[in-house]
Structure 1
Amino acid sequence: MKTIKILSLLTLIIGLSAFTVNKIAVADGYKVGDVAEDFKLMNIDGKMVSLSDYKDAKGYIVTFTCNTCPYAVGYEDRIIALNNKYASMGYPVIAIMPNNTDVQPGDSMDKMKERAKSKGFTFPYLIDKEQSVYPKYGATKTPHVFILQKTSKGNVVKYIGAIDDNYQDASAVKTKYVENAVNALLKGDDVPEKETKAIGCTIKV
């Protein structure tokens, strides 16, 4: 009985710790208007990738995603379409897998390689192995999107949130938040909707 009580207490502490990590990420993450730090993360091809590698970029569609979340999987084709549409205009997709792979082995680097190959990803798919990047952004879900604009001050956060307003059915989407934001930035206009609620699976810590 004593052992059961100890195990129950440990489970509660671990659960609260995971909740606290997410609360910290939300509280301390980037807000619209902040300048995002660059990072260096390993891509599925074994090379280290930074935002600064993209010399001709006007900005970035930084997307925290993974293999195992049904929401992320449901958005994969739309993420591919975003890169196909906007990379040549200066806004490439930079996908980052933020999960702890000990907790979620289906998101290991080998599984990431398999997924990228099967889907034909045309963008980098990076692993946040030390889980040091996603807390800086304040990402809490997969998928969770941060649009950055390259300026003289650095990479300024211009939009945070969901890709669009219908995670279940791409054909039923009414508002394409990411597309609207990038289109506005390309025209030199203000982003119409700067922040939305990301819908997806909680990042595994």
Structure 2
Amino acid sequence: MRRPFYLLFFLGVIALLSSAFVANDKGYEVGDTAADFKLKNVNGQMVSLGSLKAAKGFIVTFTCNTCPYAKLYEDRLVQLHQKYAAKGYPVVAINPNDVDLSPGDSFQEMQKRAKQKKFPFAYLHDETQEIAKLYGATRTPHVYLLTRTPGNELKVAYIGAIDDNSGDPEKVQKKYVEAALDNLIAGQPVSQNSTKAIGCTIKWRGNS
């Protein structure tokens, strides 16, 4: 008599696991807990979020050397880091592009670009593309703003674009990331926690 109950129970468990898998396959959403990672920085050292213990959070930005949109935002990323790193929110830039499809995004070219632009932040190579897939990044640039909880977890507080004008920083009217950071620093809820990322599509391995 109990068999139908157990059958329904196990089917329910399978359904829950399946739905969780599908959700994770789509990447993070606002409110999710972000997992740590370890990637190689342009200085040759391995960097993880956990190793930056003094940070209150991170401006994780998927970007690259070659995308015109990414280039337009390089100086703005530098400015974000200069303004917010001291307040506990450094930029952590990650290049996920497949080198075979985009040779200009090789590790050696990343090193050259970082030196040329004098990046004050970590510029990491996601060679396997696992972190971009984990986050659900699709564009360069694509921002995931993380904030550290009292329990030392990293929660996703904002996902999307840096601001509302990729082409001309002088004509920006809405600075999405800055507004979200100001909310977090003031201890307030993020008023706009997601926007559409505008940029080049990530060059995924096997999509040649």
TM over 0.5: yes
- Give the match's secondary structure for 1:178: helix
Correspondence for 2:116: 118
In structure 1, distance between residues paired with 2:84 and 2:145: 12
Instruction: Tell which structure's C-alpha radius of gyration is larger.
Output: 2
Consecutive unaligned residues of structure 1, counting only runs of 5 or more, are 1-23
Q: Which amino acid letter does the alignment assign opposite residue 81 of structure 1?
A: Q
Distance 1:106 1:82 in 2: 25
Which residue in 2 is equivalent to 1:83?
81
User: Aligned AA for 1:121?
Assistant: F
Distance in structure 2 (CA, Å) of the matches to 1:179 and 1:199: 17
TM-score, normalised via structure 2 length: 0.85
Which of 92, 95, 111 in structure 2 is aligned with 1:94? 92
Partner of 2:167: 168
Contact 2:24 2:134 in 1 (8 A): no
SS at match of 1:56: coil
1:27 shift after superposition: 5.5
Matching of residue 70 in structure 1 with residue 78 in structure 2: no
Alpha-carbon distance in 2 for matches of 1:180, 1:120: 25
On the 8 A contact 1:62/1:96 being kept in 2, the answer is yes
Query: CA 1:143–1:52 in 2, change beyond 3 Å: closer, same or farther?
Result: same
Which residue is 2:195 aligned to? 196
CA distance in 2, matches of 1:86, 1:25: 31
Change (3 A) 1:104 1:121: same
Select 1:38's aligned residue among 25, 36, 39.
36
How much identity, in percent, do the aligned residues show?
57
Name the amino acid aligned to 1:108: S
For 1:45-56, list aligned pairs within 5 A: 45-56=43-54
Q: How many equivalent residue pairs? A: 182
Displacement of 1:53 after TM fit?
1.1
Question: What secondary structure is seen at the aligned counterpart in 1 of 2:194?
Answer: coil
Structure 2 runs not aligned, ≥5 long? 1-21
Q: Is the 8 A contact 1:25 1:137 kept in 2?
A: no
Q: Residue 176 of structure 1 aligns to which amino acid in structure 2? A: K
Query: Is the 1:26–1:139 contact (alpha carbons within 8 Å) kept by the matching residues of 2?
Result: no
TM-superposed CA distance for 1:25, in Å, is 9.6
| Structure 1 residue 28 displacement after superposition | 1.7
Structure 1 runs of 4+ with >6 Å offset: none
Root-mean-square deviation (Å): 1.3
- CA shift for structure 1 position 26: 9.2
Counterpart AA for 2:165 = N
